[in-house]
Structures are given as structure tokens and as C-alpha cells.
Structure 1
């Protein structure tokens, strides 16, 4: 939070031309009028106002943070999907589920950048509200995008840290000394933002690719959020609206994570030269060495015989010490050659997750045939036997278990789903005491607040179990 003094300057830097990041990023192909637009004037011009908001997407995509690779990697290694084969103490903290309060990755990946982006969304929302020069249509679209992003950022914060400061303004001196806000209050704020975003955003995407928010992005995140809150009827409603919108279709296994995926609801477009996704840089091994992150035996064994996902989304590498399986959903590592092509975008929200969310909600509501149908949509794409054929009279408790199993093998090492699912279904202590019995204690369900933040702001009280 001490960085708030420099954030406004950072926000203004984000509206510089796209060439600051990459020469081919369609996301940022919005011109800034003359390079002199600053302060409130940014939001009195449609081009610079749009560029300011798009700069937030670009900033998120160009760093390691929960929305861009980090949740896929660190959340997965924290639980039972990935093992860490390296020796860096700070990464190993996550692997043994014993994060030190002075772990700099906690600060530089999961806390500071998230609040930086939240501050930027606040600044844009404020500037847009005060502008008299923009059309109502443009103001609505840009404001809706900011509220969607802000809700997404806060949703990740509370699932990792619990109570967090609820920063809603650009008054950095107040924000620097803000105490933690209860999870319930932050949740209500997230709902308000997402409902507002859904009402403000258009159904059509404002970009050629699915890398800017539309109405269904807000609806999909609402479905996930209501699932987290166990508000089953609302989760069913929001998921159904997204599924019935007609925009989205389950793709072939090989196409799910490509830039043109019809399954994608919201993706992050890479903007750095030579980069495809941050996930590939972390998870796909290079050279002759073993994978830094490899699948656990429990995840590997979770796939049923004939599951197309195991062949299509998991790689294998033999090194002197044995065979390692690794995540191969994203395949393109750093490439600074003249042959570089941008082909993969990071999936933040996609249709398969929404089908599984609705299946879970409908199971809880007692609508078992409909829940089975949703589950079978995902299983059919994976080439697996259908529950409706193999076990049509399955009881609700067994169906709920199958849905959670399917979420694991469909969404593994993706956007932190495994950690979040274990927590919201109250299974995390049971699973982790078995997986990491020498390390796991119940207070590990929340991560520590970075010690450096508490030193700067004594009002930030530490989570239980940490010193």
C-alpha cells in the first residue's frame, strides 16, 4: 500500500502508445492524441480514455500476478496438483504450504501489483464519472470494464488472504493507513461491481478477440462468485445466461487455449515482445533439465482411461532421475526469434468451468438430470463415458463428488481453481493433512499478509498462525 504515491503517475504512463509493450498487440491499437494529455484531460478524449483503461489490461498481462500466470502456478503447487523440483526458498515456501511473512513473492506477485491495478481502476472510474466529453455509451463500456477487473482482483485477494483493505478511492494518504475490511463487506462490494458491470457492458466484445470484458464476462464471474457463496439459484441463473448467450462453444482439446478459442469468455492477451503466456514460461520445461513444476502422482492418477485431456494437456519428459509429467495446456515459451507468433492467450474465464459451475449448483438444488447433462457436456468433449448412460440414477452426494473430480481434471493448474475449490467446499484441511502431513496446519487456509506491508501500515493485522 506504500506504493500509492506513485500509482497515479503509473496510470498516466499506461496510456502511452502500444509500442511500449509490443508492436503487434491489437488490444492496444488505440492512438493517444498528442502525447501531452494528462490528469483529468485523459478522460475528456475518447482515445486517451480508452487507452487508459486498456493500459490496465496491458499492465496486468505484462507481469506475474494472480491474473497472469501466478495463480495457475503458485496456487497449484500450494495444494496437491503440482510439485516443485527446484531449490528457491521462496517458491518452496508455497510448495510446503508454509509461507513466511517475509516471502517477497507474496509481496511482489500477490499483493502489491493487485493493489496497483485496483488503484488504477479506481482512478479510471473516477475520471470517467467526472468527464463531460465522452458519450454515455463509451463511459458505460469503459466503466463496466474497470468494475469487472476490480471485482476480479478483489475476488482473488479475499480467497487468498481473507480480510483485506477495501480501497475504493484515489486518496493515497488514506489508503496507506487503511485497516483490513471484513470478507463479507468485500464480497458485497464485489457483487455491486459485477452487477453494475453487467448492466453497463455491451453483449458484444469491444475488441476483435475476447480480451476485453463484455456483459457475459461479468455474468460468468458472477456465476463463479455465487458458487463460492453457495447461493445456488443465483449461480444457476448467471451460468445459464452465459451458456444460452450463443457466443460460446466447447472447443476441441487442442484449441481451448488458443487466441481464437470459441470456448473463451475472458482471456488475457500477452503484450510483451517474445511472450505468449506467463503460464507457459513457468510450466513448460526448457532445454534438457527437468520441469521446475511437475504433476503430482495424485493428479496424474485422477484421469480416467481414455481421457483426451491427459494426452492433450500433459507433457512428459525423461531426465536422468526419472520421468516427469508437466502441464502442457499452454505450449509456447519465450521466443525472441524472427519466427515468433502470438498464438496463445491466458484463459481467465471459459465455458467448461461455467458448465461445471452450473452442474454443481443444480446438484445442490436437486435438479440432478440437468446437472448430469452439464457434467456430461465436459466429459463428452474429453472422450469419456457419459454419466447419463453409465449411471443415470446416481445419488446427489455421489454426483457432487464426480463434479468436483471433473473440476480437478478439467481445470488443473489453471487460475487457482484447485485451491479455491478445496476451500469453498470445506475439504482443504482433510485433503492437505493427507497430502502434506508434516507441514499443513489449519491456519494455512489463508496466506499471511506480507510483513513489509504491516511494517508500513500497523493497522494491517496479521492472519492467525503467522508472526
Structure 2
């Protein structure tokens, strides 16, 4: 308890420093430039404040904390709606991006560009000034610089994932500097810059922190992020080596508290918070503390009086294997005679990710005939009577839901997990596969550890071949089900060049499985030839155009020399 209170008090101070608690932050005003401005627009530096600030370690740490403010919180999960795992049926810009129905006027595109560059400028300003502080040991200086270099690399990663070539700005610029209106740098050049920042960060970062500093960036985070970036750009040997560097630290292990039937789900609830002490799996998270730093993700998933913001798609539900290790179209264990049958004899991660009949939930009235409020889920709700959570597809998530937090708005304090050890294991396996060096021993030390955690049948290469299953497809399936609702699916689709998946209709459960007393509420919902709900149609993905976002029109107007991506 003492360590947890110490962590909470430290986290409170940390969040005050980043300005996340509202009101004035305890740092100079130049760290708080509005994210609504252009990436090079900022409030003027006050030379007296700037000169007087960089003196003590306390000031330096406040400046580092300010750089953390752009580490994504629940927006990480929101970006899941750009892939094919989830959908929020009402129109949204993320859904428009997923459906290919957007252009360079999209506000989301410009917000991403502006916010990422605002964060980069903050990091650049720190790295230009941190060595001015006195009476600080070299180890502490290296740690602070490492944290900020990681964050700068983190921001540039998303820029090159989404936009391709982007301006590479590694210093703060005055408006008179000609670099302000320079062209974009090649994606490969920025990638090398990201790798260099991550290498430098890893060299100066510790492997772990005391309870008071849980959540700060570690050496393992730098290695793991480099592995993710390398995987995206098919730098297989770098991805393998970086993942192995994390594994060799011997710091991380899969979360197993609560046992196979619930440990995976627990990891994303309050039981899996870093401050709770049992989680040695999460390498980087956005920690949240009740009453200090909160979000609304549990309520958005099972919102009691509206449509869920994250309805699992039929595509995701179908991707879970049966307990015999076979897909549903090959396994004799699969039945779709009733709604409840869909969840039987499936990979246990399905029951711990997709809300299953008999599980606790916070969505108030579900689709039961008696329409009473019941904390146990029975059947999907379609009646828009504002008495319970409506599904968009016939399915709901249980992952990332703290049931007690569903009933109140923006009072959820789940940690948001950016990097988990599970991902590192998956990265190592995929990188080895793509180099033609993957062995059964590798699978046993990576993917089968994930399956053992939940009591799922192990993956055996010879058995896959005997069943006519493709090894690459199954490893990619493993990544999808393990990382569902963690904001990575869209980027995986891009890097695997599977954009055609986004052009397909988004579907839900079979209409005939809706109970008779609910049929009146689904009568007008279209179905496909096999009777499955068609939730979203008219989608498109034009290759190679849609593998990159367009440069936002606002940025082109400010700097025409940026040019536009092909096809836009």
C-alpha cells in the first residue's frame, strides 16, 4: 500500500507537470503551445524565462514530464476504428478513413500532423537546453535525454507510418529560418533518424524504475518500439534483434495473475494497472490514476444509453480459432445454431475479449425479453430505447472494460497499454518467419507462451501443414487476436499490403439468431446472401494511394513545396 500511495502521489505530480489536470502547469509557457496551431507555430519564447528555467534537476524533470503529455491515451484505442476489428456505426472520421471515403480536407489528418509536430518541437527544445542544468549527474542527464529522444522517435514514427515523406525537424526554428518552408524529407531518411534516436535513448535509459517512477520510459521500451518500427518497414533482421534485446533483459514476463480463465482480460482492467504491482508484461503504458488522470473507454465500449463506440466486427469474431486449433470453417467443434454457440469451444482469448453470454457487464439493460437491468450479459440489444447499450454488429467487447467505471462519464482510470511483452514475442516470431529461419522452438518460446497463458492448444508447424493451413496466415492471425482493440490492426493491414480488407463490407451476426422479440428492431438492417448483417458498405481502398494519407490541405496552403502524396 505504501508503494501504491507513493506511486499515486508521484503520478499526480507528474500529471500536473504535463498540464493534464487542467489549470496552469508547473512549467514555462513555451511548453504549452496550443495543439491547434501549425506544427511550427508557437507562442514566443520569453528569453528571461527560458534562460532562468534550465538550472536545476527539478526543472529538468518538469520539462521531461511535459514531453510526456503527447503520449497517446485512449486515442490509441480510438484508432482501432480505422481497421477491420471494430466499427462505430454512426459516421466518424476514423470510420471514413477506414472506408476510404476521405480526402486532404479531413480535420483528423491535420490534427494528427499538427499535434505530432507540436510534440516534436517540445522534444527538440528540451534537447537543445537540458545540458545547461548544473549539479546533475551524467546518469540522470542521459536518462532524461533518453526519455525525450524516445518520445521524439515515437512522434516521427506515426508521421512516417501515415504520411510517408515528412519534414525532418530536429531543432526549434524561428519563422525567419528558411527551413520552416522546406520540402519533405524522404521516408527512409526519417526512418534512420528514428532508429538513431531509439538507439541513443536505449543507451541512456534504465531497465526499470522504483515505484515512484512507474510508467516512465525504459530501455526495454526503446528496444521494443524499434522492433515495431522495423517490422513495419520490413527490416526483419533489425526487428528480430531488437525484440531479442527486450527478451534478453529478463525484466518482462506475461501477466498470469488470476489464472488462464481471466488473466488476459484482467490485464486490461484495474487489476492489470502498473500501480497494482502484478503486471510485469506492460513495457510502456499511459498510466492513469482515479481522480487525477481519467478517460472514458469503459463507458464508450458499453455505454448504457447509446450505441457502443466499439462494436466487434464479424471479421474479428470469426478470426478466433476453435479449441482444436482449427479455424471455424475447418473445425467440427464450431456451431452457429444459437448466439451462445458462437462463443463455445473457441480460443479462450475470444471469451476474454468479446463479451460472452454469462459475463458481467455494465451496459444496463441488454436484449433480454423482460428488458430489466441485469449486470450479467445475455443477448445483444437492438432496441434504441436509451435503457441499455446498443450493439452495431451483434457483438460487444469485454476487453478494456472495468465494469464499475461504465456507469460514470470520464471517470475510468485503466492504464492504456502501448507496448506489451506479448507483442515483442509476436514480433520476434514474425521477423524469423519472414527471414525463413522460424523453427518450432521459436514458436514454443513466443506464440505458444501466449497460448499457454490462457490454456489454448499450442501451435505446431507440422499440424498446421497437415490441416492445410498457411504458417504466415496463422502467425498474422495470432497477432490480430492477441492485440485486438490495442490500436495496431490498421497499421498491420498497411504493412501487410492487405488494404483490400478495408474495402470489404463490414458485417455483423446472422440476423436469424436475433431473438423473436428483438426482430422488429432489426427488420430494416440489410443482410448479405448468407443472412449476416451488413453494417457498413460502399467502402473502397485504392492501391497504392490509400497506403498513405494525403498531406492535409492546411499544411499545403502554408507550405506548397511539401507536395502531395501519389493519387491525392
TM-score (norm 2): 0.69
Structure 2: how far apart are the matches of 1:219 and 1:314? 31
**1:46 has 2:46 as partner:** no
The 1:380–1:232 alpha-carbon spacing in structure 2 relative to 1, beyond 3 Å, is same
Contact 1:209–1:259 (Cα < 8 Å) also in 2: no
The residue that corresponds to 1:319 in the other structure is 382
Q: Specify the alignment match of 1:345 in structure 2.
A: 415
Q: In 2 relative to 1, CA 328–168 (structure 1 residues): closer, same or farther, beyond 3 Å? A: farther
Matches within 5 A, 1:266-415: 266-270=284-288, 273=291, 276-277=294-295, 279-280=297-298, 283-305=300-322, 306-315=346-355, 317-320=380-383, 323=391, 324-332=394-402, 343-365=413-435, 366-373=437-444, 374-388=446-460, 391=463, 398-415=470-487
Q: Is the 8 A contact 1:219 1:239 kept in 2?
A: yes
Q: 1:310 to 1:396 in 2, by over 3 A?
A: closer
Which one is further off, 112-121 or 168-177?
Answer: 168-177
Superposition deviation, residue 267 in structure 1: 0.4
Matches within 5 A, 1:54-203: 54-57=65-68, 59-60=69-70, 67-74=72-79, 76-88=80-92, 90-108=93-111, 110-173=112-175, 174=177, 176-203=180-207
Task: Flag the structure with higher helix content.
Answer: 1
Aligned to 2:251: 247
Runs of 5+ unmatched residues, structure 1? 1-13, 62-66
| Alpha-carbon shift at residue 449 of structure 1 (Å) | 1.6
Task: Output the CA distance in 2 between the equivalents of 1:391 and 1:308.
Answer: 20
Q: 2:295 touches 2:411 (CA, 8 Å); kept in 1? A: no
CA shift, 1:375, in A, is: 1.3
Deviations 1:206-250 (A, max 9, x none): 664642111111011122122223233332222122123222111
CA distance, structure 1, for counterparts of residue 21 and residue 174 of structure 2: 31
RMSD: 3.4
Q: C-alpha separation between the residues in 1 aligned to 2:180 and 2:196?
A: 24
Residue 184 of structure 1 deviates from its aligned partner by 0.4
Any gaps of 5 or more consecutive residues in structure 2? 1-12, 29-45, 256-262, 323-345, 357-379, 385-389, 506-536
**Match of residue 238, structure 1, among 214, 237, 242:** 242
Q: Deviations over 1:308-364 (max 9, x none)?
A: 222222237413277532343222599699999765211111011001001112223
Q: SS of 2:167's equivalent? A: coil
SS in 1 for 2:564: coil
Q: Is the 8 A contact 1:98 1:444 kept in 2?
A: no
Deviations 1:49-101 (A, max 9, x none): 101111221x225xxxxx33334323x3223112221134x344224222222
Alpha carbons 1:122, 1:169 under 8 Å: kept:
yes
Aligned length: 433
Cα-to-partner distance string for 1:129-165 (whole Å, 9 max, x where unaligned): 3444432111100000001111111111111111111
Q: Give 1:3's aligned residue.
A: none
Distance in structure 2 (CA, Å) of the matches to 1:336 and 1:192? 42
How far off its partner does 1:438 sit?
A: 4.3
CA displacement at 1:274 relative to structure 2: 6.6
Work out the CA distance in 1 between the residues paired with 2:15 and 2:318.
48
- 1:5 aligns to what? none
Cα 1:217–1:19, aligned 2, differ >3 Å: closer, same or farther?
A: closer
**Distance in 2, Cα, partners of 1:350 & 1:160:** 22
- Change in 2 beyond 3 A, CA 1:394/1:211: farther
Deviates more, 1:236-245 or 1:184-193: 236-245
Between structure 1 and structure 2, the one with the greater Rg is 2
Q: Secondary structure at the match of 1:244?
A: helix
